[in-house]
Amino acid sequence: MRSVLTDLALERHQMTPEAQREGVRVHTERNGLVERTTVSIETERAAQTMQRPCGQYVTLSFEQAPQLDLELREALQQELASVLAQLIPREGGVLVVGLGNRRVTADALGPRVADATFVTRHLKRHLPPSLAGRVRSVCAAAPGVLGITGMETAEVVRGIVRHVQPTAVIAVDALAARDSARICSTIQIADTGIAPGSGVGNHRQGLTREALGVPVIAVGVPMVVYAATIARDAFSYLVQDSDPNDGEPIGEQAIDALIERVVTQRLGDLVVTPREVDALIDHMAGIVASGINRALHPQLDASEIELLMS
Amino acid sequence: MRSVLTDLALERHQMTPEAQREGVRVHTERNGLVERTTVSIETERAAQTMQRPCGQYVTLSFEQAPQLDLELREALQQELASVLAQLIPREGGVLVVGLGNRRVTADALGPRVADATFVTRHLKRHLPPSLAGRVRSVCAAAPGVLGITGMETAEVVRGIVRHVQPTAVIAVDALAARDSARICSTIQIADTGIAPGSGVGNHRQGLTREALGVPVIAVGVPMVVYAATIARDAFSYLVQDSDPNDGEPIGEQAIDALIERVVTQRLGDLVVTPREVDALIDHMAGIVASGINRALHPQLDASEIELLMS
Amino acid sequence: MRSVLTDLALERHQMTPEAQREGVRVHTERNGLVERTTVSIETERAAQTMQRPCGQYVTLSFEQAPQLDLELREALQQELASVLAQLIPREGGVLVVGLGNRRVTADALGPRVADATFVTRHLKRHLPPSLAGRVRSVCAAAPGVLGITGMETAEVVRGIVRHVQPTAVIAVDALAARDSARICSTIQIADTGIAPGSGVGNHRQGLTREALGVPVIAVGVPMVVYAATIARDAFSYLVQDSDPNDGEPIGEQAIDALIERVVTQRLGDLVVTPREVDALIDHMAGIVASGINRALHPQLDASEIELLMS
Amino acid sequence: MRSVLTDLALERHQMTPEAQREGVRVHTERNGLVERTTVSIETERAAQTMQRPCGQYVTLSFEQAPQLDLELREALQQELASVLAQLIPREGGVLVVGLGNRRVTADALGPRVADATFVTRHLKRHLPPSLAGRVRSVCAAAPGVLGITGMETAEVVRGIVRHVQPTAVIAVDALAARDSARICSTIQIADTGIAPGSGVGNHRQGLTREALGVPVIAVGVPMVVYAATIARDAFSYLVQDSDPNDGEPIGEQAIDALIERVVTQRLGDLVVTPREVDALIDHMAGIVASGINRALHPQLDASEIELLMS
């Protein structure tokens, strides 16, 4: 199963054979409705195996529900805010970048979050004294995608960073998962930024500390899976489940090749999203934006932010 | 593979073993870029095997392309118009019903087509003489879905039909296909109306001649597939392709049960749509509406209709 | 100023000379942030003068604000719910009709409210016991407008009412005001239903108790003004304000004719809406829907409804 | 009428008394359905009087129609393309900037045009030989507005220009007109770029050759008027039209002050747009984008561009 496509470090880790997991540390804890798993990739070798740069990848997992109840929503926002608060420098301006194409609903998480970010950079001088000390300088951009702008996203962001000079960037993006059950039931926060070639929109150049000169925190939510992966996974579960007494065990390598051929021929590179994607994006963008707003303005409460933004 | 879910008669036919195909006639012809296959279900027995009522199901198939080129678009509109023209009574008013939920992009084909239908019923007295004789009385409705309105769609449509008294109803709906390659590369036109429980939105009551008292022509485009079907199909291709020399042939029934268990557990009833669903719906709604407009107003040319609608 | 165009009874009353106000009773009270004025048209003669049918017109007025604060929002929802509760029969099903064209933002109040109505008619048998006794049977429809459907809205609604047999109808519509300051700062609730020819979309046939056979409560929010009215009003304020010592008093009738000619020539029947109409509609549709949901389900609290609808 | 607010040079010119028109040249010609007026501001003094920088302002005027017919649309696209072709350097890359807020329909012209611009900068290496020589390097950006991003638009654009190094920028924006009849019936093209404080969104910093280092061509369409202006203008027409025999002529200065007070008190800074703004923006964005695409790729025909963009 070489070519499984996922943007989640947790899934990559689960796919890695025990023997090759050296250099990766995993820690899981549960806070009520939300499970928080931290995957730390600590060596260059582990980075290669995992196909992800060294760093910390925090995954918040929860029961996916078309109707995210209020309690879960609240728990998620708090948990996300708490993870972000640990990764972002305490002081200085922050730039929130919403990656993706707002015209493609499944890829619109980033732009939607950027729109719902409480931006303050332009207000700072005009804020009433009651707020001034409690508000951090925040700006937001949704630079669009290569096919619409003709420009690499990373290049546009670099230009903005040079101008705004934030102390950190939060880059929000829709992700591809391997397991369809992860769609909208996982939020991944990584201190590595966005690697080249990842994300639904497949950003060809990365948004990383190296590229931008400041820490880049990536926040992503799986919105799509490859149809080929659905097929491959179903098959691998089948092999795991099958009773060896049903017949000769199936030669794994022969099968692998077969699957590759069949799946590729039949499904191509079809990428799919749940039929309910419109409502799912609404929910998740609201949660992610609220988590970011809380992390950046810990001294404002949620209703103050809602009021200031309306 | 009992429980494969598809709204396409052509797919049901392809899944039916040769021996059980009695009472079904299939005819295929190709007009340039579009292949037209007519499946006629002629006996009650065949209707049971096919799980579809007796009648004619015309399938227009074409190469799916994110960028439907102008020539293909034109060919499809003409072909759809020509199929519809044969199924709709020559005279009298026509009601176009757009089924589905406009807030769920993958289910919004019907409402989008209703919006783009050239309605004339209210104009008839006000038309300039140059048009009056060439325009048929057409009205359109997008009654919404049960979860949003609290009313069965079929009930609402029945009320409208009783009032408007059309000579025929055209019911447009998004469909579920078995093969993901059929999404937005097939248009199905059926003279049987819409059977209960079919379509993406799963209308619990049907829109049929029996229910409405006038012929109901269904026009549908596959927009979704069940994730479970993707997995099942990949596996069945695998079995077909596998070289018996690779190992003991796999016992089909044992496997069937296995798949059923694995797939159901892992994928549940997840329904997926391509990531590009927003653009695909735009394209297909435009094509279907244009095909309907041409079929209903054969004496107007396309640019006259565009002008009158703008 | 004969031809001033407004859907608000309160504005018509204010425009009526003192001497002709017989048969109209007006009562005003203030509940915190919201002023509630009830105009009762009690005689046929008054109905003619006011160009509105006999009945009660309750107007909720508040300070318009792009950022409706949470307190005001809450107050409005409560006030609207309390007015509606007095006008709607205590028992039996209710149909909420959202009038207007959802593709025209300034006219989309009705459809947006219908979408956000908590519908339950289809659930009644499936509700958990904890809810069953506390939920009223509600359904909702947004029948579209004549130009899109080819059918008179009133005809479609009549068909639905005959089928659903509610004990009351709530009809929601965007209104035209005379005074631009009323846009989104007024909600009018009337027990007279919707008169023919009123509303932004100008429904040619009315939705009234006579037409539908059950009480019809109209809920409207001014979203537009006629440009000509802006000009006329500015001029009339000018005349009121002008110091007679500035020159010969202006002959009112001569002026009236002049205005009529100038205004009609220059502004035609241009209807305008604030530039911020997108956000205003979002806010007001949310408030109106919430007020209706509370009035219809007094035993559910707001968060229960939000949860059940999500 | 000091404080009349308009972004159209032609309107400013019409408002300027004959005596002060020195240094401004005006030339009008008619090409079928479209009237082209060129206002050239040639001296610094004229620039001050006109409150617009020196340069050329071309205004295309046409009969506004909800249904822009195909012939007019074609004429406008050609005319716009021809004006642009004269102002843009023949060679080198071009950046199209869509100013405004895409969430405010009346202000969304710029972003919509940017979305519909045929961008090629990223394709150049991948184009088939049949196209390569005929396609110019074009990119597009819709940087959002200050209130949403927290960043001055001009700053963001400067960052992009520095990176992309185009030979010219085309900046598209929604405008405010004085005369409501100009809404969507005028396109203004100026070689001066966008002055600070103009446009519907009121960009505080300008997009000009001085700021960006390359020629900036501004393309704008009036989408809004100030309600106060509607009132003021109606009054001024009244004065022009009034028969001196009706009474003492009204003292102009006294009146001016009166209007100012009345209008400001009653209408504040309310900005309005036609109720049909959704459809109007669709139409105009399509026309402007098509005009730009033709001007930038004169060797492609319209259907080739449509095909390449789909």
- pLDDT tens, residue by residue, A89-111: 999 999 999 999 999 999 999 99
The pLDDT assigned to D2 comes to: 38
**B234, A238: Cβ pair inside 8 Å?**
no
Can you tell me whether residue D11 is helix, strand or coil? helix
Distance from CA of D221 to the nearest CA of B (A): 20
Distance from CA of A9 to the nearest CA of D (A): 30
Q: Which comes out higher in pLDDT, residue C174 or D15?
A: C174
Asked which of B249-253, D194-198, D296-300 is least confident by mean pLDDT, the reply is: B249-253
Say yes or no for a CB contact (<8 Å) between D68 and B307: no
- Quote the tokens at residue D123: 């394709």
**CB pair distance less than 8 Å for B139 and C149:** yes
- Contacts of residue C106 in chain D, CB cutoff 8 Å? 275, 277
Average pLDDT of A134-140? 93
Lowest mean pLDDT among A69-78, B155-164, C29-38: A69-78
Q: What is the pLDDT of residue C2?
A: 38
Q: What does the pLDDT average to over A226-235?
A: 80
In a domain, B121, yes or no: yes
This model of the complex carries an ipTM of: 0.87
CB–CB of B67 and D306 under 8 A? Answer: no
Are residues C106 and D275, on separate chains, in Cβ contact within 8 Å? yes
Find the residue in A nearest to B66 (Cα): A270
The length of chain A is 310
Q: What is the pLDDT of residues A35-62, one digit of tens each?
A: 999 999 999 999 988 888 999 999 999 9
Whether residue A170 lies inside any domain: the answer is yes
Does residue C241 or residue A249 have the better pLDDT? C241
Flag if A156 and D160 touch (Cβ within 8 Å): yes
Q: Which of D234, D261, D271 has its CB closest to that of C275?
A: D271
B139 to chain D nearest CA, in Å? 20
Tell me whether residue B230 is in a domain.
no
pLDDT at A66 over 60: no
Q: Is the pLDDT of residue C203 over 70?
A: no
Interface test with C, best of B148, B296, B310 (most C CBs within 10 A): B148
**Cα of B274 to nearest chain A Cα, Å:** 4
Nearest CA in chain B to D69: B307
Average pLDDT over residues C175-201: 85
Best of A178, A225, A270, A275 to substitute, by most chain B Cβ atoms within 10 angstroms, is: A275
Min CA distance, B253 vs chain A (Å)?
11
Q: Are B222 and B184 in contact (CB under 8 A)?
A: yes
- pLDDT higher than 50, residue C1: no
Cβ of D200 and C272 within 8 Å?
no
Chains contacting A with at least 3 CB pairs below 8 Å?
B, C, D
Per-residue pLDDT, A1: 34
Nearest by CB to A148, from D115, D123, D144: name it.
D115
pLDDT value, residue C128: 76
Whether C255 is in a domain gets the answer: no
CB pairs under 8 A between B and D: 20
Point out which residues pair with C26 in neighbouring strands. Answer: C39
Q: List the single best residue of D238, D252, D275 to mutate versus C (max C Cβ within 10 A).
A: D275
- Residue D247 pLDDT > 90: no
Which of A266, A275, A278 is nearest residue B234 as measured by Cβ atoms? A266
Q: In whole angstroms, give the CA distance from residue D39 to residue D16.
A: 13
Q: Which of B114, B123, B151 sits opposite C139 (nearest CB)?
A: B151
- Identify all chain A residues contacting D135, using CB atoms and an 8 Å cutoff: none
Look at residue C52 in the predicted model and tell me its pLDDT.
87
Nearest chain B residue (CA) to A176: B275
In a domain, residue C269? The reply is: no
- For chain D, the average pLDDT equals 86
Cα(D80)–Cα(D195) distance, rounded to whole angstroms?
Answer: 21
C-alpha pair distances (Å), D14 with each of D38, D41, D176, D179 = 13, 13, 16, 11
Nearest CA in chain B to A181: B267
Our CA-based measurement puts residue A246 at a distance from the nearest CA of chain B, in whole angstroms, of 7
Stated as kind and residue range, the H or E segment containing C29 is strand C24-31
Is the model more confident about A73 or about D259?
A73
Q: Tell me whether strands C186-190 and C55-61 are parallel, antiparallel or unpaired.
A: antiparallel
Cross-chain Cβ contact C106/D262 below 8 Å: no
> Nearest CA to CA, how far is C235 from chain D (Å)?
7
CA distances to D142, D156, D204 from D145, rounded to whole Å, are 9, 10, 10
**What CA dihedral angle connects D119, D122, D126 and D128, to 10 degrees?**
20
The residue of chain C with its CA nearest to that of B117 is C148
In angstroms, rounded to a whole number, what is the distance separating the alpha carbons of residues C287 and C285?
Answer: 5
Query: Which neighbouring-strand residues pair with C139?
Result: C95
Paired strand residues for B29 = B36
Q: Considering CB atoms only, which of D254, D258, D272 is closest to C275? A: D272
CATH number at residue A284: 3.40.50.1450
| Domain containing residue C184 | 2-224+274-309
DSSP symbols for B53-112: -SEEEEEEE----SS--HHHHHHHHHHHHHHHHHHS-SSS-EEEEE-S-TTSGGG-HHHH
Across residues A195-220, what is the average pLDDT?
81
Residues of B with CB under 8 A from a CB of D: 66-70, 283, 303, 306-307, 310
Mean pLDDT of C149-158: 92
Instruction: Please check whether residue A213 lies inside any domain of the structure.
Output: yes
Q: What is the mean pLDDT of residues A198-203?
A: 59
pLDDT at residue A69, as a whole number? 73
User: Would you state the pLDDT for residue D66?
Assistant: 47
Over pLDDT 70: what percentage of chain C? 87
In a domain, B144, yes or no: yes
Chains that touch C (3 or more CB pairs under 8 A): A, B, D
Read off the amino acid at residue D217.
Answer: I
| Selection from A238-252, C44-58, C114-128 with the highest mean pLDDT | C44-58
| Class of residue D294 by CB neighbours under 10 A (exposed 0-12, middle 13-18, buried 19+) | buried
Given an 8 Å threshold on Cβ–Cβ distance, is B230 in contact with A235? no
- Rounded CA-CA distance C228/A203 in Å is 52
Mean pLDDT in order along chain B per 10 residues (310 residues): 70 87 94 93 92 94 69 91 96 96 95 96 79 89 92 91 95 92 94 76 77 96 89 72 54 66 76 93 95 95 78
CB D307 to CB B67 under 8 A? yes
Residue A264 domain-assigned (yes or no): no
Number of domains, chain D: 1
In three state form, how does the secondary structure of A24-79 look? EEEEEEEECCEEEEEEEECCHHHHHHHCCCCEEEEEEECCCCCCCCHHHHHHHHHH
Are D51 and D20 spatial neighbours (Cβ–Cβ below 8 Å)?
no
| D27 burial type by CB count under 10 A (0-12 exposed, 13-18 middle, 19+ buried) | exposed
More confident residue, D190 or B15: D190
Is pLDDT of C249 > 60?
no
Helix (H) or strand (E) holding B39, with range, is strand B34-41
Query: What Cα–Cα distance (Å) separates residue D79 from each residue in D61, D65, D72, D185, D219?
Result: 11, 18, 10, 14, 13
